[in-house]
Amino acid sequence: MKKWKKLASAAMAAMMCAALLTGCGGEKKQADSGDTIKVGAAFELTGNVANYGKSINEGFKLAVDELNKNGGVNGKKISVVESDNKSEPAESGNAVTKLITQDKVVAVVGPATSGCVNAATPITTANKVPHIAPAATAPSITVENGKVKDFVFRACFIDPFQGQVMAVFADKTLKVKNVAIFYDSSSDYSKGLAEVFQKTLEGKGGKIVAKEAFLAKDVDFKSALTKLKASNPEAIYVPGYYEEVSKIIKQAREIGITCPMLGSDGWESPKLAEIAGKDALKGCYYVSAFNAKDEDKSVQDFIKKFKEKYQKDPDIFAMQGYNAGLILADALKRAGTTDGTKLAKAIAETKDLAVASGKLTFDANHNPVMPALIIGLETGTPTLVEKISL
């Protein structure tokens, strides 16, 4: 209930801000004069999912740096204005409001999570500012009540797609039929994935033998895990974020659960192995759009450039931030203007754009068409197991 009230307050604040901004939208001038074009980077730089926001921001800035070294866009350099939403939806609305009203950015990239993006989109839409979500996978990000949001796009696949992919992997590759689900009831991301996974697996003749829920920031999961264990599952699906998932995996192994554990792209973080322990990750798999062992030339070129700039390996979030930067730069070039409506139209028309994950084209719902990767953690190190296209 506390979580619900918090999200409701964030949504109400966002709508109020949007209404206020719309009223004076005609007077807003975008920062595209002089030699620079300002774009906003609204990320989770602190808080419980700061790992995501920081990685995306690094990838995004790498793309912008490359662009500026090559002359910028239409003779102008891109200037990135950063803001921290502290991993909170309410702060996300405030951060994006500042970017638009005070910093006068022509587009916004970020945040990372679906909740924070949904809190910001009423504001960007009301002001006709194109908005690219690098990693937000909830379907409602780009489509609401059957209507595509004109100014909102994403640089990642959607939750239903990755939920389907994991169910296909469980059925065809692992050949498991009796599966338990352990999901975060406070997260739309987790609930949506659990629903699609269950529907897809059952459609293939599988069975959900047990279903338990936890809450974000919980630390003790053994009671629920014991109930799941009693159902004798052949695998357990845990769609969620690394902070809770790492503890869940560790505690599951401690109470004798040895079956495969399956997950979503929210598992992606070096902290997963650090907290869970490498041995606990044997038989664990999750869905991703990036792996350093992928031999695709686009992937390897991106890894090389990222390591040269930051002296470390990139993760999926860095790749998605980089792709978001390339999408925006390409659209700015083709639009030939920073007018929000024309720029959004150019983004929507993106086709066969060369990005870090290969070629990217937007579908009618502003979602990129791309394959998904199944990542295994048998050795504690993320390893490409299979590439799946539906």
Over residues 300-352, the pLDDT tens digits come to 999 999 999 999 999 989 999 999 999 999 999 999 999 999 999 999 999 99
* Spatial CB neighbours of 91, under 8 Å, sequence gap ≥ 6: 84, 85, 116
Q: Which of 265, 288, 311 is the last residue of a domain?
A: 288
C-beta atoms surrounding 40 within 10 Å: 26
Q: Which helix (H) or strand (E) holds 256?
A: none
Shortest CA distance to 173 belongs to which of 203, 129, 204, 147? 204
Whether the per-residue pLDDT at 48 is higher than 80: the answer is yes
Structure tokens at 30: 């975008």
Q: Residue 129: its pLDDT value, please?
A: 98
Give CA–CA dist 37/19, Å, rounded: 26
Q: Is residue 375 domain-resident?
A: no
Q: Is residue 389 domain-resident?
A: no
Number of structural domains found in the chain: 2
The vertex-120 CA angle with 118 and 122, nearest 5°, equals: 85
Q: Which of 268, 288, 308 is the last residue of a domain?
A: 288
Whether the per-residue pLDDT at 384 is higher than 60: the answer is yes
Whether the per-residue pLDDT at 178 is higher than 70: the answer is yes
Beta pairing, strands 36-43 & 77-84: parallel
Give the three-state DSSP class for 272: helix
Q: Is residue 387 domain-resident?
A: no
Give CA–CA dist 206/191, Å, rounded: 19
- From the CA atom positions of the chain, what is the Rg in Å? 21
Give the three-state DSSP class for 83: strand
Instruction: State whether 132 and 271 are in the same domain.
Output: no
Q: Is residue 208 domain-resident?
A: yes
* Spatial CB neighbours of 325, under 8 Å, sequence gap ≥ 6: 59, 60, 61, 62, 63, 64, 67, 109
Q: Residue 24: its pLDDT value, please?
A: 41
Confidence of residue 32 (pLDDT cuts 50, 70, 90): low
Instruction: State whether 23 and 78 are in the same domain.
Output: yes
Q: Is residue 238 domain-resident?
A: yes
Give CA–CA dist 57/176, Å, rounded: 38
Give CA–CA dist 117/140, Å, rounded: 10
Whether the per-residue pLDDT at 191 is higher than 90: the answer is yes
* Mean of the per-residue pLDDT values of the chain: 91
C-beta atoms surrounding 254 within 10 Å: 12
Q: Is residue 380 domain-resident?
A: no
Shortest CA distance to 42 belongs to which of 2, 122, 97, 101? 97
Measured CA distances, 228 to 163, 251, 386 (Å)? 20, 12, 27
Measured CA distances, 4 to 115, 185, 233 (Å)? 12, 11, 31
CATH code where residue 77 lies: 3.40.50.2300
Largest CA distance in the chain: 66
Query: What are 230-243's pLDDT values in tens digits?
Result: 999 999 999 999 99
